[in-house]
A and B are shown apart, each in its own frame.
Chain A
């Protein structure tokens, strides 16, 4: 397919044809050619992701909504978890650090083998509720127009008018997610808990 580049005045500057893959490249463009427009419609290329050089070409993009949701929830929850972990590490007596030093462990080993296992006991319960919050906060996707469960629920409400039933279904879904998360974290909590005699 022939492609023609025009400048602002509609003057043709260069012409080129696409190759078999629908790709084209202009050579010897004038310096002012930064804001050129193409006369022909861009070729429709159905592509699949392919490794080319150091990058993938083609394929699909993540939607801005999804990335916004992912980044927003990650950063927001990350700040809360940072505070929880800090509180947990602070809860380990200072003597534990010193004792660990005394037996000759380095900083990393101290953290991994002495401090974190004890801190986890303090961290897990608030971390559980933070994860539950995360599950529930994911419903905020509706605020930025990401089609999550709640969004689909709204569409069904619009089409059927069965608002109460739909909200109850959505609530039941979130409730089951919450309960499953809660069960898992409680199991893990029992695992890291101090075995008392």
Chain B
């Protein structure tokens, strides 16, 4: 104690003891372990039991993974990618891939945010595929796609393309994809036939390509239908109101698989006389779209209900009517609110496309079922179902995870639930 006392002031020259470091058991790895894993008797026991179980599960899984018989997956990589698409026309799906990666790169460069992370993921995937010894042509396709992704990204960063044009390009890319995969336009009913390659039967589309087609077309078509149904359910016109309610509740009350079978059996009955029977692809797309629209309608309705009544009244006060009120005031706010819910719905739709295998489409699961039946693998002890299904599950997981990652990023950016 060496304080100095002068006549009027007292100065404490005794510097306070600097705060010592916390004991080693409270910080760092040990401290973290103590606070999170071993804070108490029961939690310590739980941690130890969990560790033991995790050890056995992980080592068992890793051992199985390296000893599993992956030959069926590797030998059928073309089937898993595009299905039984004719081999000498594979440049057509390749062109589609180029178009999509270029557009994706442009969008990621132009709009940024979560698309950028997704583009990095897609680029990594394409890079890995280009390095795997898939076969010279396939590797070349993947490398070119990766190149186009990067080129598109750089262009999108440098050139200010109007958002409207980019959306338009995405919308146009869908019919272009249809024409490219088909090998031309085959609309005999209205007298248009044009081809640049032999026509490919839609029954020959398959694999991941078909899964993507089902998911993307289903999402795109069910969105406007879902919004219309949601608006219809809130409509004051009784016919529209009750029709929407009946439609939504019935569709939501039955399993997708029954709707798929119903579409397979009944769709031709709804077409005018003399029309060609629609392909299985069209029937499944119709079923998935109608099914998804009902669920989407409920999501959108949630957004519409969450909107304060003042917004409607303010729009009325401004003199906006009908379509303008919807387009500029209601829908932008309502849809923004429910984006996370809708993305969840889209992930569900993506996973539901696997049901198309049950009505005979050769999408990923359909290919898996076909591969398991191949005679080459009959002699394999235990069958090859485990390996094939785990591979398919892994592919589904990658894409679902990408989408849910994007949704989480979007949620943070839009600040849903934060205001």
A residues apposed to B, CB below 8 Å: 132, 136-137, 139-140, 142-143, 150, 163-164, 167-168, 170-171, 174-175, 178-179, 182
Contact = CB atoms under 8 A, between A and B. Distances in A.
Given A142-B358, A143-B358, A174 B254 contact: yes
A interface: dominant SS: helix
A174 B358 contact: no
A139 B253 contact: no
Given A142-B358, A143-B358, A174 B255 contact: yes
Nearest to B365: A143
Contacts of A142: 257, 358
A108 B262 CA distance: 50
B250 interface: yes
Given A142-B358, A143-B358, A167 B253 contact: no
B358 to A, nearest CB: 6
B266 interface: yes
A139 B254 CA distance: 10
Contact of A178 (B253, B259, B269, B358): B253
B258 A174 contact: yes
Contacts of A167: 258, 261-262, 265
A171 B269 CA distance: 19
Interface of B: 250, 252-259, 261-262, 265-266, 269, 355, 357-358
B interface majority secondary structure: helix
A164 B257 contact: no
Contacts of A175: 250, 253-254
Q: Which has the most chain A C-beta neighbours within 10 Å: B253, B262, B265, B355?
A: B253
A164 B256 contact: no
A95 B253 CA distance: 39
Contact of A171 (B252, B258, B355, B357): B258
A139 B262 contact: no
5 contacts: A132-B253, A150-B255, A171-B259, A174-B258, A178-B253
A156 B254 CA distance: 19
Closest 4 CB pairs of A and B: A178-B253, A136-B255, A139-B255, A163-B265
A170 B258 contact: yes
Nearest to B358: A143
A167 B357 CA distance: 18
A45 B414 CA distance: 68
Contacts of B265: 163-164, 167
Given A142-B358, A143-B358, A171 B257 contact: no
B258 A150 contact: yes
B262 A178 contact: no
